[in-house]
Amino acid sequence: MRQFLIVIRLILLLSVDISAAPAPAPAPAVRTEVDPELTAGYSEGDMIISAEQRNGLRPDSYRWPNRTVYYYINSNIDPPHREQILVGLRKIEASSCLTFKEAVKDQKYYVNITSEPGGCFTAVGFQNRVQQMNLQNYPLDEGCYRMGTIMHEMLHALGFYHEQSSADRDEYVRIAYENIQEGKEHNFDKFDIDTVDNFDQEYDYGSVLHYSPYGFSKNGGMTIVPFKEGAEKQMGQRLQMSQRDINKLNIMYKCPQQV
C-alpha cells in the first residue's frame, strides 16, 4: 500500500513538472505582513512551543485528557466576541468527540482566552497548566475573530502544527525563500514525521491550518508555491475546518466514531 502511494505521488510530481505554472508576475517592491496570525512574532507566527516540544516529546502527552478541553474567556471580551469564540468551539465539538467546558474555580489546567494586543497566538498542545490563547481584538469576522482563525488557534491548543510544516510538504509545495522577508525564514521550518504526524491524511492545501500563499512575503510574490495548479486559491482559507482537518482531529483524539 505504501509503495502504491509512493508511486502515485511520483506520478503526481511528474505531472506537475510537465504542467509547471508560469512564474508569478513581478509584484510591488515592499509588502508589510498584516495578518495577525503571522505578526505575533512567535514560532511560525502564532505558536508558543516549549523547548521540550522542539526536542520531540511523545505527542500523546500533548493531548487533552478525557477529550475534555477547559477554557476561560476573559471578562474584558465583550458578549458578541465571546459568542463568536463559543460558536468556533461548538463547531469543533460538532465535528469531533471533544467537549469544551468552562473552567471552574480551582481548575488546574485550561485555555486562558485573552484579547491582548500582539496578534493571535496560542500555546501548542495540552500543557497541564493554564495556557494562553490570545485573540487580539478585531471586528467580528476580521483578523483574530475570523471563524477559521478561532478554530485554527484552538487546533494549535489541541496539538496541531501548521499544515505546511508536514514532513512531506516538499512533495506538494515549494517554499520560495527568495520572496520571504529576511529573518522570517524559520516560520517555514518543516518537522520530521516523529514530531508531526499527518495521521495518514494526504497533504491538505485547504486546511484551516495552512498558511496563505503570501505569508511573510516581502515583495508580494508567493512564499508557498503549490505544485497543484490553482491550489493557491484554497491555501489560507479561514472559514472552516476542512474534511481532512476533521479526520485528523478525530484520529488524534481516537474518537470512537468518526464524524
Whether 153 is a known active-site residue: answer: yes
User: 37, 44, 153, 232: which is the annotated catalytic residue?
Assistant: 153
| 46 vs 245 by CB, closer to Zn ion | 46
**Which residue, 114, 107, 100, 105, is CA-closest to 128?**
107
Exposed e or buried b per residue across 199-210, where buried means at least 16 C-beta atoms within 10 angstroms of its C-beta:
eebebbbbbbbb
Question: How far apart (Å, rounded) are the C-alpha atoms in residues 223 and 244?
Answer: 23
Binding residue for Zn ion (CB under 5 A) from 35, 46, 163, 232? Answer: 46
Which is it for the CA torsion 21, 23, 27, 32, positive or negative? positive
| 35 near Zn ion, judged by CB under 5 A | no
Spatial distance between the Cα atoms of 25 and 45, rounded to a whole number of angstroms: 27
Task: Collapse the DSSP code of 133 into the 3-class scheme (helix H, G, I; strand E, B; otherwise coil) and give the result.
Answer: strand
Q: Kind and range of the H or E element at 4?
A: helix 2-18
Footprint on residues 121-150 left by Zn ion (CB under 5 A) = none
Smallest gap from residue 40 Cβ to Zn ion (A): 9
Kindly tell me the sign of the dihedral angle through the C-alpha atoms of 161, 239, 80, 138.
positive
CB of 256 to Zn ion, least distance (A): 28
For Zn ion, give the closer residue by CB, 9 or 114. 114
Q: Taking contact as CB under 5 A, which single stretch among the options 25-33, 46-54, 65-73, 194-202 is the one that binds Zn ion? A: 46-54
Closest contact distance (angstroms) between CB of 235 and Zn ion is: 13
Please say which residue, 21 or 114, places its beta carbon nearer to Zn ion. 114
Binding span for Zn ion by CB under 5 A among 5-13, 40-48, 101-109, 129-137: 40-48
Residue 184, C-alpha cell as written in the block: 522570517
So which residues are the catalytic ones? Answer: 153
Q: Which residues of this protein are in contact with Zn ion, per CB under 5 A?
A: 46
